[in-house]
Structure 1
Amino acid sequence: MVDTKVVETSSSSPLHVVVFPWLAFGHMIPFLELSKRLAQHGLAVTFVSTPRNAARLGAVPPELSAHIRIAKLELPVVEGLPEGAESTADVSQEKVELLKKAFDGLAVPFTNLVANHDCCFSRKPDWIILDFAHSWVWPIAEEHKIACAMLLIYPVAMMAFAGPKHENEAHPRTTTEDYMVPPPWIPFPSTLAYRRHGAEWMAGAFRPNASGVSDADRFWQVHRPSCRLVIHRSCPEAEPRLFELTTELFAKPVMPAGLLLPDDVVDDEDAPVNGVASHDQPFLSTMQWLDAQPRRSVLYVALGSEAPVTAAHVRELARGLELSGVRFLWALRRPAGLLPDDGFEARVAGCGVVRGGWVPQVRVLAHAAVGAFLTHCGWGSTVEGLFRFGHPLVMLPFIVDQGLVARAMAERGVGVEVPRNDDGSFSGEDVAAAVRQVMEGEALARNARELQKVVGDRVRQEQYIDELVENLQRYK
């Protein structure tokens, strides 16, 4: 395991790596965690983002400050994008396309950053590690002869399902139903398919949006010669067979970075007070409520910051939690219209807590009272809840990779998916049934803990970073 002191690489001149994530915290946080791991190995890292996002991500640890530099690029104004919006957390789902359009406007300032490396960088970058959205970075990197790697914070399953461009051209998917079955390039029995509501979202990812470029076309830049490596926030223990398959499909190395888990349970850079961030003391009463609950008796409920949750979803989820009769802590984002009915909190008082403000998710998941996790099955939440803490899952997927993750985890016997109608709606009765099945299911809990022991092995996770650094040296 890498110590907190900086480890020098074998090279006399450590690599300089530019790390540039898409403007979503589910992307920026693991990209920053990778930056810290690379810096621990002695690499020089320049982390690129926008000013507001850089401020919200917090300070670089002092022991790594000599190795990590933050470069801030001003996001251009785009009509229809709210003032000050710099991440997907700042906009509604339908305006994410406009955020991508603004993001594409960073091409010129990023070119200037790379071209003027004598004044902007200590030296020319050896690598640019970028995200799926950066279709305009590749020609910049090629002009300046800089190697690129794509870091995908989604599971490898998403890459396998999307498939390479030539396979999509040979086997075009023209209907929603085409995304509801495993693609023909998967050579073994597989759960790689969406239910209808997820399939409709996935079909949309292959169509141009308000930015003028489809998400699929952004991703397919991976075929460019300048993309030397594809790196995933995953590992073979979490996703058997898929690293080998995608390496063959895309004809380039697809390798794990591991789960990129922090060494402790702190969610942010603020010093905790009694396990609670100093800027949010009101959460202290919620932690005290958790402290009073029996071991593994509480269901933690959180659907992430970006799932397209409607008022109807909230209403049926509340009804299901009440019907289930289990103890729960619900981290509920509360924009206008997304509230349970007025009497809900009074009816569940003592049994359930609804928290509308900031919730330190990792600390909650680490608490001994928590026994299961009701989640949208975003990969980051799955990594935290299941692979880090061994909690079985009640699964309520919406978009992106979530449907693929839910089906894979159900197959591995570590979670139960809430049944959905074709339009994505669900009933409180079905929520209650899934919750009771998970909270009372000894086999599910045992399977989740056993999987956590295998996937969450810290020594092996650190070896993935060691191997990644070696490959960055080899393929530069």
Structure 2
Amino acid sequence: MIPFLELSKRLARRGHAVTFVSTPRNAARLGAVPPDLSARVRVVTLELPAVEGLPAGAESTADVPPEKVELLKAAFDGLAAPFAALVAGRMGGGGEGDGFERKPDWIILDLAQNWVWPIAEEHKIACAMFLILPAALLAYVGTKQSNEAHPRPTTEDYMAQPPWIPFPSTLSYRRHEAEAIAATFRPNASGVSDMDRLLQLHRPSCRLVVHRSCPEAEPRLFLLLTDLFAKPVVPAGLLPGDAADDDGGDQPFVAAARWLDEQPRRSVIYVALGSEAPVTAGHIRELAIGLELSGARFLWALRAPGGRSPAALLPDGFERRVAGRGVVLAGWVPQVRVLAHAAVGAFLTHCGWGSTVEGLFRFGHPLVMLPFVADQGLVARDMAARGVGVEVPRDEDGGGSFRGADVAAAVKRVMAGEEGEEMARKARELREVVGDRVRQERYFDELVQLLRRYK
């Protein structure tokens, strides 16, 4: 949601009116639109329908355990009718007026809203799919036609580079990742597979595919996509948000911020596995063992699975033994503020694209990589090949489990010695190339020109 809001704000700053459509709780999570943009960005909310088995008030994947995400998708599909009414101008949302004040020039949608296409086509509105995943995932998934020509019936098929990629690449999955990605090609409780939703971008109403990426971030693959999909696949740039957007004023972070201020420059590894990774109690235990064995200073943003107490999942005496050199935070952590701090020198991450953009491309931190699902393995392979990080080994016969000793070894490689210095140098070089604000703004200006041309 945050990249979609950032896209909205940038469009508004260039003089365009934006209606941001979401559900009430998700809209509240985003906070207020900046006062200088309130005349051009209006937030409209649609109530998420109830679905049996979905917890009351759940509106986001952050609200449910992994096994209930498919129920969230089923509820999400129930927004088709109210959204159609909104487009037709017969329904008030959370903003002023009934529906849209005029027919939109564009509907910019995420990959999940496969029900938007017929609505847009009925009203003759152009659509752009905005993908906050890396171009690598779209290249791996391929087109509807390429999947029909090259079906992937086995797990091993998902472990190999797709046949439609015409050059050697790092597009491959480990076995446990391949099993997870294969599942996204099968229908879930919503009756539709995740990949069927994504593959709708072949429709004529999809005029553009827009990525939160750029050719410098993904050199060869990004340039392949326009030919592969036979329509413009264009960069929006990396869309770094304002540091103020990351400031929730959370009191538990105040003490951690003071601790960071006391640490030597580039001596701390920040540890965060995002809100989407299916982390288990066993993962947390092995990660704790690895951080303790590494001897490194660390700040760990720990999200415990199933609403459990994080302290109960840590090894006995862990926080006492690492006191002074390690801090564990169970609440909200302002990630951008942490990554921007001078004491932070590396990032242990699940390699979600948003975290990779923030940690590597924005702040130039080398990575210790612990991918789980979706695009994360593809990102990890690419960054390891580019020499800016180390991936923690997994036991493929054990369902992708990992050992604390391997975590410790990876942390030591990134945080110490000549190898660590070389990775840090390459990460800073990548930040300089991709972090060129002038270039990033130019990408967005070119996107706006394309929106005008293709509407």
Q: What TM-score bracket applies, with the shorter chain setting the length?
A: over 0.9
1:336 partnered with 2:308: yes
Return the offset for 1:265.
Answer: 1.8
3-state SS in 2 of match to 1:120? coil
Please give the alpha-carbon distance, in whole angstroms, between the structure 2 residues aligned to 1:328 and 1:60.
34
Residues 40-99 of structure 1 show CA distances to partners (whole Å, capped at 9, x for unaligned) of: 110110000001111110000111111111110000000000000011110011111000
Output the amino acid matched with 2:116.
V
Please give the alpha-carbon distance, in whole angstroms, between the structure 1 residues aligned to 2:352 and 2:48.
26
1:245 partnered with 2:217: no
3-state SS in 2 of match to 1:296? coil
Return the offset for 1:246.
Answer: 1.1
Aligned residue runs from structure 1 range 67-106, under 5 A: 67-106=40-79
> Does structure 2 conserve the Cα–Cα contact (< 8 Å) formed by 1:267 and 1:362?
no
1:224 partnered with 2:203: yes
Aligned length: 440
Please give the alpha-carbon distance, in whole angstroms, between the structure 1 residues aligned to 2:252 and 2:350.
26
- Aligned with residue 370 of structure 1, among 335, 344, 354: 344
3-state SS in 2 of match to 1:374? strand
3-state SS in 1 of match to 2:103? coil
Please give the alpha-carbon distance, in whole angstroms, between the structure 2 residues aligned to 1:472 and 1:88.
30
Q: Which residue number in structure 2 is paired with residue 109 of structure 1? A: 82
5+ residue gaps, structure 2, are: 91-96
> Does structure 2 conserve the Cα–Cα contact (< 8 Å) formed by 1:131 and 1:152?
yes
3-state SS in 1 of match to 2:8? helix
1:148 partnered with 2:121: no
Return the offset for 1:119.
Answer: 3.0
Please give the alpha-carbon distance, in whole angstroms, between the structure 2 residues aligned to 1:172 and 1:330.
41
Please give the alpha-carbon distance, in whole angstroms, between the structure 2 residues aligned to 1:120 and 1:226.
21
Please give the alpha-carbon distance, in whole angstroms, between the structure 1 residues aligned to 2:222 and 2:372.
25
Aligned residue runs from structure 1 range 160-199, under 5 A: 160-199=139-178
> Does structure 2 conserve the Cα–Cα contact (< 8 Å) formed by 1:157 and 1:239?
yes
Return the offset for 1:267.
Answer: 3.6
> Does structure 1 conserve the Cα–Cα contact (< 8 Å) formed by 2:89 and 2:101?
no
- Runs (4+) off by over 4 Å: none
Q: Which residue number in structure 2 is paired with residue 437 of structure 1? A: 413
% identity of equivalent residues: 76
Residues 283-319 of structure 1 show CA distances to partners (whole Å, capped at 9, x for unaligned) of: 1111000000000000000000111000110011000
3-state SS in 2 of match to 1:228? strand
> Does structure 1 conserve the Cα–Cα contact (< 8 Å) formed by 2:215 and 2:223?
no
Return the offset for 1:342.
Answer: 2.9
1:233 partnered with 2:212: yes
3-state SS in 2 of match to 1:241? helix
- Aligned with residue 287 of structure 2, among 317, 320, 325: 317
Return the offset for 1:337.
Answer: 6.5
Q: Which residue number in structure 2 is paired with residue 286 of structure 1? A: 256
Please give the alpha-carbon distance, in whole angstroms, between the structure 1 residues aligned to 2:223 and 2:425.
29
1:451 partnered with 2:430: yes
Residues 88-139 of structure 1 show CA distances to partners (whole Å, capped at 9, x for unaligned) of: 1100111110000000000000000001178322211010000111111100
Per mean C-alpha deviation after superposition, the further-off stretch among 114-123 and 465-474 is 114-123
> Does structure 1 conserve the Cα–Cα contact (< 8 Å) formed by 2:347 and 2:365?
yes
1:400 partnered with 2:378: no
> Does structure 1 conserve the Cα–Cα contact (< 8 Å) formed by 2:21 and 2:43?
yes
Output the amino acid matched with 1:80.
G
Q: Which residue number in structure 2 is paired with residue 420 of structure 1? A: 394
- Aligned with residue 45 of structure 1, among 5, 13, 18: 18
TM-score (norm 2): 0.95
3-state SS in 2 of match to 1:119? coil
- Aligned with residue 333 of structure 2, among 349, 352, 359: 359
> Does structure 1 conserve the Cα–Cα contact (< 8 Å) formed by 2:158 and 2:172?
yes
Output the amino acid matched with 1:54.
A
Return the offset for 1:244.
Answer: 2.3
1:390 partnered with 2:364: yes
Return the offset for 1:245.
Answer: 1.1
Q: Which residue number in structure 2 is paired with residue 265 of structure 1? A: 243
Superposition RMSD in Å: 1.0
Return the offset for 1:266.
Answer: 2.4
> Does structure 2 conserve the Cα–Cα contact (< 8 Å) formed by 1:104 and 1:136?
yes
Q: Which residue number in structure 1 is paired with residue 93 of structure 2? A: none
Return the offset for 1:282.
Answer: 2.4
Residues 204-256 of structure 1 show CA distances to partners (whole Å, capped at 9, x for unaligned) of: 01111111000111011101000000000000000012222111111100000
3-state SS in 2 of match to 1:218? helix
> Does structure 1 conserve the Cα–Cα contact (< 8 Å) formed by 2:349 and 2:355?
yes
1:202 partnered with 2:175: no
Please give the alpha-carbon distance, in whole angstroms, between the structure 1 residues aligned to 2:245 and 2:177.
29
Output the amino acid matched with 1:428.
G
3-state SS in 2 of match to 1:266? helix
Please give the alpha-carbon distance, in whole angstroms, between the structure 2 residues aligned to 1:337 and 1:80.
24
Please give the alpha-carbon distance, in whole angstroms, between the structure 2 residues aligned to 1:337 and 1:54.
27
> Does structure 2 conserve the Cα–Cα contact (< 8 Å) formed by 1:267 and 1:363?
no
Q: Which residue number in structure 2 is paired with residue 299 of structure 1? A: 269
Output the amino acid matched with 1:38.
L
5+ residue gaps, structure 1, are: 1-27
Please give the alpha-carbon distance, in whole angstroms, between the structure 1 residues aligned to 2:101 and 2:119.
19
Please give the alpha-carbon distance, in whole angstroms, between the structure 2 residues aligned to 1:38 and 1:315.
44
3-state SS in 1 of match to 2:440? helix
